[in-house]
Chains A and B, each alone.
Chain A
Amino acid sequence: MEFMTFVYLFFILVSLYLTFLALTLHYKNRGMLKEKREPSFFPKISILTSAYNEEENIANTINAVLNSNYPKDKLELIVVNDESTDNTLEEMKKFGDKIKIIDKKNSGKADSLNHAAKFASGDIVAIVDADSYPNEDAIRNMVGYFEEEGVGAVTSTVLVKNRNKRLEKLQSVEYIIIAWNRKLLQFIDGIYVTNGPLSMYKREVFFECGGFDHKNLTEDIELTWNVLSKGYKVRMDLNSKVYTTVPSSLKNWWKQRIRWNLGGLQTMTKYKHTFFNPKYGMMGLFVAPFFMLSFFLSFIGLGVFSYVLVKKFFRSWLMTKYSYVAQSSFLRADQLNLNANVFALFAILLIFLGVLYLIYSNRYIEGKKIGFKDIPFFALYLLIYLSLYPFVLIHSLWRYFFTKKREW
């Protein structure tokens, strides 16, 4: 058996395991995925939002929060203007005394939120991105989770607001899958990020962790790992939806993903002491190794993919060259080999499960009816969009190890 056969089988094995882990988690918790935890009391919540040049979005975000069905007297909204150069501050001022405004020198999102937290009087600190819009029942739905013992943070379901361009639509599918996976991970205490668009933290937990790490490019991932490493649990509510604006151009998408990866790498480095350390519970035994494994597999996967691709191109180039020399056609029907083999069997099985997973999660989270017309789009997602991940990773690793560039 060739070495590459072992490599392929290894990737198949890992893919199958992760698929079955998700299926097992889903089957076991199918009745609890959309459970509603109605709070027995309403703690005071301080919602913090930091805005930098968000004149187009900030009013909608504030309106979305103010329209929440959470008791108004238990809600405090603190909005930070991080030295915007547009009309963000003016937009904020239109809300008068419904919100507290902090106008400060520019210091970045993480630092601005930490600063705002100092003025928060709530028992719970909630973070809402300045370009994100929570549903009216999102905050109320999430609060109930804090009544579970040991819960330090609760996160929400992020969905895409702008879905006009193909890239935006692809991201909308991706966000649904991310939300779905995140909910499943909750049942093994494996949620590794409390997203920026809408997440809540117990006040004392937030301050015990020292708030957001302003040096980290993904402060939300870092804070989650911090919360987990201190022994708190993280929960997620599928019913609490928040709509966010995603990048519309490939350039901005790439930039965002580089930032996510760099932040992930920063976080892994910072918490390397937790890896496989039983002292940190599932954080050390699952979250950190799983996170690292996904990076590692993407990297190795890209290596294997590149090797196969380069070899294929080289073969095709040679075949074309020699066919030209011999004046023979380089592609012939009789050369088609449609005999099945073990890889073809597994590929069919994994693609089938992947498509089912996409269809089911889309229907479950958004109640969308998926028809045959959506299959090409899902194929585009599975075969093209996901293939971009490893390339972003390579660029990120390059940036992380060989340049000092660490910016938003």
Chain B
Amino acid sequence: MVKPQKDVFWKALVFTAIVFLLGVLFGYLLEADRVSKIEDNFEELIIDWDDAESLSSYFQTLETDFCDVAIKQNLKFGDKIYERGLQLERYEDSNRFLDKLDIEKKKYNLLKTKFFINSKIIKEKCNADYDFIFYFYLNDPELEVQEQQKVMSRVLMDVKYELGDKVILMPFVADMDISVVDVLLEKYGVESYPSVVIKENIRLDGLYTVEEVLEFF
């Protein structure tokens, strides 16, 4: 004799609820851990930045003979902030609950603007031979622009690989309401994305090949 076992419906529901909630919680914690890692990275960058900036101020005000060290430290910081920026975007792509890390992005972009100003000062004071490549892109554009941005970002990575310390690559999110970025956008007349500004005077809108970009160096 088999009696209908209606209790299995709620038992299954309880198991499902437990596993589902645990999974969601674990997923959430995983993402929260990544965000916390980004915050830790940022804290570390701030310390590095303070170090680089202090060193830079010291040489600017007291010791002009040690420009090489200041340039080297500055470039090292540039590589680090660029690498951490890429990591931030990868984490953002993986997240499902905390899907937009806008605040963290904004902090990184602000730090990049400070880094740019510092780099520019060092370049002038120490007569450094590096050039800037500004890369302006949108945070959340339509699909076509998104894919163009991805391709252009790869092109610029290859350019950076080719030129090494001769260039400082500065990717800026254009639509995050950051004053210095807004000033740069206006200064270079950037209206469409992706857009690249080479040596602070050549603007390239849309897609270009590595060779075409390298021609300007």
Contact residues of A with B, CB < 8 Å? 1-2, 5, 9, 12-13, 16-17, 20-21, 23-25, 28-29, 32, 148-149, 186-189, 233, 235, 282, 311, 314-315, 318-319, 322-323, 325-330, 332, 335, 337, 339-343, 345-346, 349
Q: How far is the CA of A148 from the CA of B96 in the complex (A)?
A: 52
Contact in complex: B4, A189 (CB < 8 Å): yes
Contact in complex: A21, B93 (CB < 8 Å): no
Most central of B5, B91, B210, B211 by chain A CB within 10 Å:
B5
User: Which residues of the partner chain B approach A1 to less than 8 Å between Cβ atoms?
Assistant: 96-97, 99
| Chain B minimum-CB-distance residue to A327 | B209
User: Which residues of the partner chain A approach B8 to less than 8 Å between Cβ atoms?
Assistant: 21, 24-25, 28, 187-188
Other-chain contact of A16, B16, B34, B148, B152 (Cβ < 8 Å): B16
Contact in complex: B93, A318 (CB < 8 Å): no
Interface stretch (choices B22-30, B64-72, B131-139, B171-179): B22-30
Q: Could you say which interface size class chain B belongs to?
A: 35 or more
How far is the CB of A310 from the nearest CB of chain B, in Å? 11
Q: State whether the Cβ of B151 lies closer than 8 Å to any Cβ in chain A.
A: yes
User: Which residues of the partner chain A approach B152 to less than 8 Å between Cβ atoms?
Assistant: 326
Q: State whether the Cβ of B187 lies closer than 8 Å to any Cβ in chain A.
A: no
Contact in complex: B143, A2 (CB < 8 Å): no
Q: How far is the CA of A339 from the CA of B23 in the complex (A)?
A: 16
Q: State whether the Cβ of B207 lies closer than 8 Å to any Cβ in chain A.
A: yes
Contact residues of B with A, CB < 8 Å? 1-2, 4-6, 8-9, 11-13, 15-16, 19-20, 23-24, 26-28, 30-31, 34, 90-91, 93-97, 99, 143-144, 146-148, 150-152, 154-155, 158, 207-211
User: Which residues of the partner chain B approach A186 to less than 8 Å between Cβ atoms?
Assistant: 2
Q: How far is the CA of A21 from the CA of B148 in the complex (A)?
A: 47
Q: How far is the CA of A24 from the CA of B31 in the complex (A)?
A: 32
How far is the CB of B38 from the nearest CB of chain A, in Å? 12
Contact in complex: A337, B90 (CB < 8 Å): yes
Other-chain contact of B5, A188, A325, A337, A343 (Cβ < 8 Å): A188
Q: How far is the CA of A189 from the CA of B154 in the complex (A)?
A: 60
Contact in complex: A342, B210 (CB < 8 Å): no
Contact in complex: B27, A16 (CB < 8 Å): no
Contact in complex: B96, A5 (CB < 8 Å): yes
User: Which residues of the partner chain A approach B146 to less than 8 Å between Cβ atoms?
Assistant: 315
Q: How far is the CA of A282 from the CA of B158 in the complex (A)?
A: 65
How far is the CB of B18 from the nearest CB of chain A, in Å? 9
User: Which residues of the partner chain A approach B95 to less than 8 Å between Cβ atoms?
Assistant: 341
Contact in complex: A326, B96 (CB < 8 Å): no
Given contacts A1-B97, A343-B96, contact A188 B4 (CB under 8 A): yes
Q: How far is the CA of A349 from the CA of B19 in the complex (A)?
A: 10
Known: A28-B8, A342-B24. 20 other contacts (CB 8 A): A1-B99, A5-B96, A9-B24, A21-B9, A25-B8, A148-B1, A186-B2, A187-B2, A188-B8, A188-B9, A235-B2, A314-B143, A322-B148, A323-B151, A325-B151, A328-B154, A328-B210, A335-B154, A339-B90, A341-B94
